[in-house]
A and B are shown apart, each in its own frame.
Chain A
């Protein structure tokens, strides 16, 4: 790259400066970090083995030994929730990563080639867009049998249009910029331009969008586990733990409540972090200030 092009290429990397997150942003990030830590260090943090139960002490209330009590077969609820964080987080992570791995190249090809290639890709994505993700996952369960693997694959495919669409429009916008033309004239290949420049400039956008996608994947996967189509009981997973209606109907709602709270808190935190990364920062003071009449 010559000195001239060095000057032209815009370095629009948005660095996450601390002030940009705001108070709620930091809180949200803390929540996400906490959950990730719980999942990563589950064996160290969980007080009991999640799968061993004591049939003599079913539905025990919260106590020193069992912080949240026990479930129908005497298993420690808290430990199950902590271990449950693993599948509840790994699943969505896999979905988002897969979706990006396929979606980003697809989007770049579409934006770069244009013409017939772009047309076909866009139409295919439109059809995918037209079928609700949950339905694709349910059908995949029908076809390949219920299980985490088919659910993750199905949702990754279902999320393709969302990732791809955003990237295609951003990439097309970038492609029209001066610096791309300059680099092309110099003989840089499409791949190298894409990877080194375009991707770097839309990186923050992808990051923010992926965070939000992660949250939705969490919801969808947990819902599928709730239906018994993804993670299968007796494996601990927030979706599975939240689907125990029997315990609720018998008046023991601790497990379901705790699992639900964890899901909602994590999802909300992810939404907030994703929004902050995209540069939106509503603040309470902002709300109040706008309220005063002129």
Chain B
């Protein structure tokens, strides 16, 4: 088990390393040099340009710059915004909390509305299953921007229960303002989780060890708790983890749709402004969150399964 976790950790670090390289390097593929943004439409003299480049450290070789950047990042220094000269860490602090709150809210919704219906579908075959599966199928086809439009038009514009834009301060304000965005994010992921949960649960229900439990006269409640849920937990956890991880990418769309001041919105505006340090930092953060969450889910799933936990000695 520990060997597995260690190996997974190693893979994670390698992936992060390569991804950070890609993130850092990609920016420099961009046509036009990064410092040109600062000059706007006034082409500078070569001397001024050289000074600025030196100031921004752009005159050093690429690999050196990459390693320096990585070193800074690991020390918590994400550089300075080219536009505002503000430390990137300060710039993204606020938006980070918004995005975390949004993703957290959506994650809870996914567990409730994904795992729940999936289980119900599998345990109550017949009409319940058929109707839930229909709804779930529809959900898996609804991208976040569609759900956002739907919810806004109905709950914000028509009913006025929730704001269509922005966040009021305070916990209540945040809960209120994040509800529609969180639901928009959660719908498609819930659909996928529900589908996998249903399939996994049905598979376990049909397995021999559930039949054995029934043959021994074990109560239905215990069978479901101890056998079905316990054994279906692996795949369900796996897909839930994957979906929650992908929320970080989907949040970009939702934040844009609801005018939320989160990492996604900041990413888009920084791209427009060509504020590369910020873009790099946010991209790195999002990738890291995605990779780490997936790895955590993988390790948890492995921890649940005795066959993988133990060295098998026959």
Contacts and interface: CB of A to CB of B under 8 A. Distances in A.
Complex A–B touching at CB under 8 A: yes
Interface of A: 123, 126-127, 130-135, 138-145, 215, 219, 222-223, 226-229, 239, 242-243, 245, 248-249, 251, 253, 256-257, 260, 263-264, 267-268, 271-272, 282, 284, 287-288, 290-292
Contact of B145 (A142, A239, A290): A239
Given A130-B19, A267-B141, A141 B125 contact: no
B299 interface: no
Contacts of A135: 249, 283, 286-287, 290
Interface stretch (B55-63, B87-95, B130-138, B227-235): B130-138
Interface in B219-274: 245-246, 248-250, 252-253, 256-257, 267-268, 271
B248 to A, nearest CB: 7
A130 B283 contact: no
B29 A143 contact: yes
Contacts, number: 142
Nearest to A222: B143
Contacts of B279: 139, 142
Query: Quick one: which of B140, B145, B268 has the most chain A CB within 10 A?
Result: B145
B126 A256 contact: no
Interface of B: 11, 14-15, 18-19, 22-23, 26-27, 29-31, 125-127, 129-130, 133, 137-138, 140-146, 149-150, 152-153, 157, 164, 245-246, 248-250, 252-253, 256-257, 267-268, 271, 279, 283, 286-287, 290-291, 294
Contacts of A253: 149, 153, 157
A268 B126 CA distance: 22
A263 B164 contact: no
B129 A287 contact: yes
B145 A222 contact: yes
A287 B134 CA distance: 11
A239 B256 CA distance: 13
B271 A141 contact: yes
Contacts of A251: 157
25 contacts: A127-B18, A130-B15, A130-B291, A130-B294, A131-B287, A132-B245, A133-B249, A144-B31, A226-B145, A227-B253, A239-B145, A242-B146, A248-B149, A253-B153, A256-B149, A257-B150, A264-B138, A264-B141, A268-B137, A271-B137, A272-B137, A287-B129, A288-B130, A290-B129, A292-B126
A138 B252 contact: yes
B143 A219 contact: yes
A132 B246 contact: yes
A248 B129 CA distance: 35
Contact of A245 (B126, B257, B271): B257
Given A139-B26, A144-B30, A268-B137, 8 more contacts: A133-B249, A134-B253, A139-B279, A144-B29, A223-B145, A226-B256, A227-B252, A248-B164
**A-B pairs, 9 with minimum CB distance:** A291-B126, A132-B249, A268-B141, A287-B130, A267-B141, A260-B146, A142-B271, A134-B249, A219-B143
